[in-house]
Structure 1
Amino acid sequence: MPRLPGTSVMLREYRRDDLPWIRQWVNDPEIVRQLSDIFLYPHAQEATEAYLEAMLEGDSDARGFVIADLATEAYIGQVNLDSIDWKNRVGKIGIVIGSTEQMGRGFGTEAMKLLADFAFRELNLNRLELEVYDFNERAIRCYASCGFVEEGRLRERLYRNGRYCDIVQMGLLKSDWKQAAGRN
């Protein structure tokens, strides 16, 4: 995949030297509590290595990018199209910022906008979708600022931190993306 430069971040290829950065967040409770239940249990080194190898070799259903500092190419996080339905032109997005120190600095918003541009212009997708937990207000604001709209809720679908939470379903259509930026 190509590199996609923004103003402060770029979306770049995965590298083997990203492993320590991925290992840093994959078992960090502050980060993974916002993510899917695949992070409910600790992830072994071998599991992280296998994931990275699959991304490097293209053996995964996911296609994605590392979110990296524009100047240094240092790992910040990752954003993936976890699955693409080519017949219906739909991509499902997963994103993570890999350290709490990097959160709230606009890197996720910029990465989402870069990915949407790539997905709609280069892959000719018609729709992007994602799920987010109702307590992850920062992420919901990020996605809304990128043009995603809430399309539904799976009420009390998730049990987290001693209570049942909603999963918010959000989507972005190519036509809305084009209209918002005056694209043709």
Structure 2
Amino acid sequence: MPRLQGSRIMLREYRRDDLPWIRQWVNDPNIVCHLSDIFLYPHAQESTEAYLDGILEGSSDSRGFVIADRSTEAYIGQVNLDSIDWKNRVGRIGIVIGSLEHMGLGYGTEAMKLLTAFAFNEMNLNRLELDVYDFNERAIRCYLSCGFQQEGRLRERQYKNGRYVDVIQMGILKSDWKAWSQAVTGEGEDTR
């Protein structure tokens, strides 16, 4: 898979030496509170290794990238396309910024824009979708700023932090993305 270059980050391949960085966030309640219930229980070292091995060996259903500093290639987080439906040309996005110090700096927005362009221009997907908890306002702003639209709300779908929260379903179509990217950049549809 090619590396995707942004202004401050790159989306690069996973490496075995990313394991310590992934281990830093995978059991951090400040990070995983925004993620799916697969992080409800602590993850053992062996589980994280098996996940990374699956990606490195190509046996995982997930296709994705490490979000890395453009100049040093240091791990910042990861963004994946999970559960790609090739017949219907749909991909489901999962993203995590792996440390609190890197949150709120625009790395997630830049990564989402790079991945969206790649998914539509290179993979020929027609639709991208994701779920986000209603309390994750920073992520919702990020997705809206990348052209995603709210398509649904599953009321009180998840139990998080002692209360029921809504899950917001968001998506973007290739045709919407082309119009959005042209309006934002003032250029043609390809923003690479």
Local SS of the residue matching 2:166: strand
Which residue number in structure 1 is paired with residue 185 of structure 2?
none
Give yes or no for the alignment of 1:128 onto 2:128: yes
How far off its partner does 1:38 sit?
0.3
How far off its partner does 1:83 sit?
1.4
Alpha-carbon deviations, 1:165-184, whole Å to 9, x = none?
00000001100110112234
Give yes or no for the alignment of 1:75 onto 2:80: no
Distance 1:162 1:62 in 2: 30
- CA-based RMSD of the aligned residues comes to 0.6
Trace 1:153-164 onto structure 2 (pairs within 5 A): 153-164=153-164
How far off its partner does 1:146 sit?
0.2
Alpha-carbon deviations, 1:3-23, whole Å to 9, x = none?
000000000000000000000
Letter in 1 for 2:100: T
Normalising to structure 2: TM-score of the pair? 0.95
Percentage of identical aligned residues? 78
Which residue number in structure 2 is paired with residue 12 of structure 1?
12
Alpha-carbon deviations, 1:82-140, whole Å to 9, x = none?
11100100000000000000000000000000000000000000000000000000000
How far off its partner does 1:162 sit?
1.1
Q: How many residues align?
A: 184
Distance 1:124 1:169 in 2: 22
Alpha-carbon deviations, 1:30-53, whole Å to 9, x = none?
000000000000000000000000
Letter in 1 for 2:76: I
Which residue number in structure 1 is paired with residue 65 of structure 2?
65
Distance 1:152 1:30 in 2: 26
How far off its partner does 1:29 sit?
0.3
Letter in 1 for 2:52: L
Alpha-carbon deviations, 1:46-98, whole Å to 9, x = none?
00000000010110000000000000000000000011100100000000000
Normalising to structure 1: TM-score of the pair? 0.99
- The unaligned stretches of length 5 or more in structure 2 are 183-187
Local SS of the residue matching 2:156: strand
Which residue number in structure 2 is paired with residue 176 of structure 1?
176
Which residue number in structure 2 is paired with residue 48 of structure 1?
48
Local SS of the residue matching 1:132: strand
Distance 2:5 2:77 in 1: 15
- The unaligned stretches of length 5 or more in structure 1 are none
Local SS of the residue matching 1:14: coil
